[in-house]
């Protein structure tokens, strides 16, 4: 089987789906690897390193003409879908609930489509879970970005001129990104608090040294597939009240809350921002999905009521080398799981295949 690695075309995207190391691993498994020219350059992987790994450097046209599997990080764009051939298989992140037309257009080409972001959160799929691997890096970078924009340092510091008290950090959402944000802020010396609608995250947050802010929730069914479900207005109001004291005292706030397939919940309103400390910083990691912060703007840093609000999209791309390495390993584990003796197994009874296979040979298999 021939695998084609496309260069990412989305603006501000520096990652690549397969690194030279993983290209070599694919070669060792019997795959032929074709890489679009300069596909890895923004991630610090040049064409020479792919050639050394046994890959062939080709044009985008050649990839669509000669490969069986086409891999990417972001969804295919319209001009790329136009080049698809019947029988080809596309593997990328798709966000199919938000991009139903894209799925339909790929189906019309008679191709197959796997979505990396639809990976079930089960133990045997952990090494294929790109959302976790990328969120891990995003949580780290959010704290670093916040620190860079603060007018204070994180740790306690005793000097001859007096003692500097540690910064106070508040994390909304104790998933993979939130846990990494907690760990990073603690390592830098901050006093960290965290909150989440899922009470089972309390122990995880506290194990990393954060104080957990609990909010009682009468709805027992509050998570689905590893994500928090959309919450009632009544609960969100209770959460705001419970967290407000910490929010108003925080020097840095990182929001990470996402709802799978839906707009991100608004957790911090303009009225709350008005009550925050002058000089405080908020990093909204959910800005690309509508934002957890009412006043955040995608890819902008705005100053509102004395608070700096950072709406950086695609944080993993700012750590492109590591992010590409992790995505590529996830992808390698996924493709080798799906194939046997140079062919796809198409095991539609398998949970991993069921959740990720959106289209098979032009037939749509999922609800849009």
Q: Among this protein's residues, is 43 annotated catalytic? A: no
Q: Among this protein's residues, is 354 annotated catalytic? A: no
Q: Among this protein's residues, is 227 annotated catalytic? A: yes
Q: Per the structure block, which two tokens stand in for 93? A: 């992140």
Measured distance CA(218)–CA(83) in Å, rounded: 51
Which residue among the candidates 59, 108, 126, 214 is catalytic per the annotation? 126
In this structure, are residues 53 and 27 in contact, taking their beta carbons and an 8 Å threshold?
yes
In this structure, are residues 301 and 149 in contact, taking their beta carbons and an 8 Å threshold?
yes
User: How far apart are the two ends of the chain, measured CA to CA in Å?
Assistant: 30
In this structure, are residues 260 and 227 in contact, taking their beta carbons and an 8 Å threshold?
yes
Q: What's the number of CA atoms in the CB half-sphere (13 Å) around residue 54? A: 15
Which residue among the candidates 140, 172, 227, 327 is catalytic per the annotation? 227
Measured distance CA(275)–CA(58) in Å, rounded: 56
Which phi and psi (to 5°) does residue 92 adopt?
-165, 180
Which residue among the candidates 43, 115, 132, 317 is catalytic per the annotation? 132
Q: Per the structure block, which two tokens stand in for 167? A: 């910064």
Query: Under 8 Å CB-to-CB from 271, ≥6 apart: which residues?
Result: none
Which residue among the candidates 10, 97, 121, 187 is catalytic per the annotation? 121
Q: For strands 69-71 and 2-5, give the pairing.
A: parallel
In this structure, are residues 324 and 43 in contact, taking their beta carbons and an 8 Å threshold?
yes
Which residue among the candidates 129, 196, 251, 284 is catalytic per the annotation? 129
Buried b (16+ CB within 10 A) or exposed e, 120-129: ebeeebeebb
Place of tokens 């690194």: 19
Q: Per the structure block, which two tokens stand in for 338? A: 């799906």
3-class DSSP string for 263-309? CCCCCECHHHHHCCCCCCEEEECCHHHCCCECCCCCCCEEEECCEEE
Q: Per the structure block, which two tokens stand in for 349? A: 């009874």
**What angle is formed at CA 57 by the lines to CA 56 and CA 59, rounded to 5 degrees?**
125
Measured distance CA(197)–CA(180) in Å, rounded: 18
Which phi and psi (to 5°) does residue 9 adopt?
-110, -10
Catalytic residue positions? 121, 126, 129, 132, 227
């Amino acid at each position: 089987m021939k695998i084609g690695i496309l260069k990412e075309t989305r603006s501000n995207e520096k990652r690549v789906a397969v690194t030279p190391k993983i290209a070599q691993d694919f070669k060792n498994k019997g795959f032929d690897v074709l890489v679009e020219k300069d596909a890895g350059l923004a991630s610090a992987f040049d064409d020479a390193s792919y050639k050394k790994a046994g890959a062939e450097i080709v044009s985008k046209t050649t990839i669509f003409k000669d490969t069986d599997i086409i891999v990417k990080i972001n969804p295919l764009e319209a001009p790329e879908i136009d080049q698809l051939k019947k029988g080809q298989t596309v593997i990328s992140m798709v966000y199919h609930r938000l991009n139903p037309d894209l799925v339909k257009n790929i189906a019309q080409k008679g191709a197959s489509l796997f979505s990396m972001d639809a990976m079930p959160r089960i133990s045997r799929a952990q090494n294929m879970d790109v959302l976790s691997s990328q969120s891990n890096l995003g949580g780290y970078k959010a704290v670093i970005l916040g620190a860079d924009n603060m007018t204070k340092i994180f740790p306690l510091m005793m000097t001859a001129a007096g003692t500097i008290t540690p910064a106070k950090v508040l994390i909304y959402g104790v998933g993979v990104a939130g846990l990494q944000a907690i760990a990073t802020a603690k390592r830098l010396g901050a006093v960290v608090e965290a909150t989440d609608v899922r009470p089972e995250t309390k122990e995880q947050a506290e194990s990393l040294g954060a104080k957990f802010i609990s909010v009682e929730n009468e709805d027992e069914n509050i998570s689905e597939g590893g994500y928090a479900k959309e919450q009632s207005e009544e609960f969100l109001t209770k959460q705001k009240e419970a967290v407000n004291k910490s929010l108003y005292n925080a020097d840095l706030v990182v929001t990470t809350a996402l709802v799978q397939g839906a707009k991100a919940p608004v957790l911090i309103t303009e009225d709350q921002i008005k009550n925050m400390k002058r000089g405080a910083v908020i990093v909204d990691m959910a800005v690309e999905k509508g934002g957890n912060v009412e006043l955040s703007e995608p890819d902008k840093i705005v100053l509102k009521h004395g608070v700096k609000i950072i709406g950086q999209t695609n944080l993993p791309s700012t750590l492109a080398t590591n992010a590409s390495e992790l995505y590529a390993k996830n992808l390698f584990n996924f493709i080798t799981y799906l194939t046997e003796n140079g062919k796809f197994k198409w095991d539609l009874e398998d949970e991993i295949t069921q959740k990720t296979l959106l289209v098979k040979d032009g037939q749509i298999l999922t609800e849009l």
